[in-house]
Amino acid sequence: MYKILMPYTYVKSERVREHLDGYELVLITAGILKPNWNIDRKMVDFYKKLEVSCWRFHACHSTPPQKFKHLTMNLAEKPNKQIEKALKNQISIASAISGEEKPNLLVIHSGSVKNIEERENGIENVVENLKKALDTAEEEEITLALETKERRVKGDLYFIGSQYQDLIEIKKEVGSDLVKFTCDIGHLKTMGGTPYIKEAIRRLGKNIIHAHIHWNDSRLDLHQPLTAIPEKEKQEFKTIIKLLIEKTDIPNEKYRTFTLEIAHKTIAKPPKHGATAKEQIESVKILKNLIEKQ
């Protein structure tokens, strides 16, 4: 059986929740991390006691909304004590909330550099930052699942992992089984449409252990519901889900998870890019259907 999840804060109604198998907990908005990366233990207990499990966890990253600027973690920056504490504490949170659902995973963005010329330097920093957290990851039974990132549209900033080759390079340099990948198909689509998604799935292959599902126009990272997939792209979407099941390690995971990253319109930015509860439910049904057919 596969589990269809949604980020905890994206679910705004009981009707949507009833269709889900659980949540991915996005640590940036979970209210669990205090300034200076200290952990709010009361909030850890709160999430532990949820009726529906948090099956997957999503770490903080380098480009948070203004409101969460204090939780900026950029793994492409030169290693320092703050980054080390940030990453280790997030691994500990994932472990504490997972309870019996271990081993588990923490989805990680590899960070950003000021332009593409800094790419190699950024990758070296990601490798060093990850290496410092490996002991904690091993102890806590948490795999670090580096996510494929989207094309940056504004300015020169370059997201490490927007070209999937970055992730292969990082994994090779870290040289640990605790580093794996999260395949975000929407992000990949902004880097070269559906051909690029398929190429990346084939190349990242068995190191993919989790997936993020949403759609867009191949230009902007819109996080659209699956009801927005145009007629002419429906077949491509089916092929992509098939590839995720055939070519990756998701089917061999103890918990086989797909997270629908489709924000409800009350929290999407801008709101016009969000989905209604009905569109969220339809998206769950579309995905479930396709997975079951494989």
Q: What is the CA radius of gyration of the chain?
A: 18
Among 24, 150, 184, 279, binds Zn ion (CB under 5 A): 184
Closer of 21 and 147 to Zn ion (Cβ): 147
Closer of 184 and 253 to Zn ion (Cβ): 184
Query: Contact region for Zn ion (CB under 5 A) — 28-36, 77-85, 136-144, 205-213?
Result: 205-213
Query: Contact region for Zn ion (CB under 5 A) — 37-45, 65-73, 233-241, 254-262?
Result: 254-262
Closer of 212 and 264 to Zn ion (Cβ): 212
| 159 vs 162: CA distance, rounded Å | 6
- 150 near Zn ion, rule: CB under 5 A: no
Closer of 136 and 243 to Zn ion (Cβ): 243
| 20 vs 3: CA distance, rounded Å | 8
- 169 near Zn ion, rule: CB under 5 A: no
DSSP reduced 3-state for 134: helix
Query: Contact region for Zn ion (CB under 5 A) — 3-11, 133-141, 227-235, 257-265?
Result: 257-265
On whether the CB atoms of residues 84 and 135 are closer than 8 A, the answer is: no
Tokens of 109: 């963005």
- 212 near Zn ion, rule: CB under 5 A: yes
Q: Which residue is nearest to Zn ion (CB)?
A: 212
Closest CA to 7 of 20, 28, 23, 22: 23
* Strand 158-159, strand 112-113: pairing: antiparallel
Measured CA to CA in angstroms, residue 58 lies from 42, 104, 106 at distances of 19, 11, 5
Q: With CB under 5 A as the rule, give the number of residues binding Zn ion.
A: 3
The minimum distance between CB 248 and Zn ion, in angstroms, equals 15
- 214 near Zn ion, rule: CB under 5 A: no
Amino acid type, 252: N
Helical ranges in 148-274 per DSSP H? 164-174, 185-189, 193-204, 234-247
Query: Contact region for Zn ion (CB under 5 A) — 24-32, 63-71, 256-264, 274-282?
Result: 256-264
The minimum distance between CB 225 and Zn ion, in angstroms, equals 15
Q: Which residues pair with 26 in a beta bridge?
A: 58
Which residues lie near Zn ion (CB under 5 A)?
184, 212, 261
